Amino acid sequence: MFKDFLVPLLMGDIPSPVVHTACAIAKAWRGRVIALVGVSQAAPIPEAWSYYPAGVYQNMRDCALATTQSMAEAADARLHYEGVPYEIRRSEAFWSTPEEISVEHARYADVTVLGMDTNEHDARHRLFAAVAVGSGRPVLCVPAYKALPADFGHAVVAWKPSREAARALRDALPWLARMRSVDLLSADETSSTAHPLDASLPNYLERHGVQVKQVRRSAAHASAGCVIVDHAIECNADLIVAGAYSRSRLVEQILGGTTRYLLDNAMCPVLFAH
């Protein structure tokens, strides 16, 4: 059951598809939207603080507070007519990065809703990577100009036998149980012939009230991300469920190829979990 949907608004904009999606799913789950507003300022190294004029940090803080207040008022005006319970949460962690601010609050929400607009593309990727890896909560990524429909339509679950995919599937179970139809998609990257799918997973899902259609696609001549996106377009999917992968355990901020492809090319919202 999902109740709290966090929407970080730390990029200076209020993207309509993201807000519309968060409000639509909050209504469906009888939950609430938490709009997180705040300002991130680059903090000088502590050793240099004594060289700055007296009062400079107080002035910076006053400016940040004023900006945060303006952002809060804009978010309140945007959410006021959506007809869903909401909270405007102000962050005063001015010396933290947007990623650190978002992760801190995402840990106390059920789902974080992010937009993948072309504006500030790299910054949005960094924010997604930090929240997906650091929050322990699923992240719903909404593409530009494409909000999630208010009803529960068709979902595509990108499945492979991995920890990330298993976590995404488990986190999405309450959502999948309400979908009209679900495809369990297996994209085989190793050969032109897809391996048979184990019946254990569909049986497990059925016990949780999720009826799935098993779909096998070869990714021998195309990336797994491309196969997933193409199938989602073919079946007019309303939602994709996928694991969030990184290329290196030591550098978690570097997104894996499939994850990055879905972020940049998916035509419908994607629910990720790491």
CATH for 35: 3.40.50.620
pLDDT at 147: 64
Going by pLDDT thresholds of 50, 70 and 90, the confidence category of residue 230 is very high
Same domain, 13 and 122: yes
This prediction's pTM: 0.89
Same domain, 169 and 137: no
**148 in a domain, yes or no?**
no
Strand bridging mode 270-273 / 139-143: antiparallel
pLDDT at 110: 97
**21 in a domain, yes or no?**
yes
Same domain, 189 and 257: yes
Same domain, 212 and 174: yes
Helices 257-265 and 224-234 sit at what angle, rounded to 10 degrees? 30
* pLDDT (average), residues 9-28: 90
**196 in a domain, yes or no?**
yes
First to last CA, the chain: 19
3-state secondary structure the chain: CCCEEEEEECCCCCCHHHHHHHHHHHHHHCCEEEEEECCCCCCCCHHHHHHCCCCHHHHHHHHHHHHHHHHHHHHHHHHCCCCCCEEEEECCCCCCCHHHHHHHHHCCCCEEEEEECCCCHHHHHHHHHHHHHHCCCCEEEEECCCCCCCCCCEEEEEECCCHHHHHHHHHHHHHHCCCCEEEEEEEECCCCCCCCCCCHHHHHHHHCCCCEEEEEEECCCCCHHHHHHHHHHHCCCCEEEEECCECCCCCCCCECHHHHHHHHHCCCCEEEEC
Task: For the chain, give the mean pLDDT.
Answer: 87
* pLDDT (average), residues 146-172: 87
Same domain, 188 and 223: yes
pLDDT at 193: 46
**In the chain, how many domains are there?**
2
Same domain, 115 and 205: no
pLDDT at 72: 96
Same domain, 16 and 127: yes
Question: Range of 95's domain?
Answer: 4-143
**131 in a domain, yes or no?**
yes
Same domain, 163 and 107: no
pLDDT at 250: 42
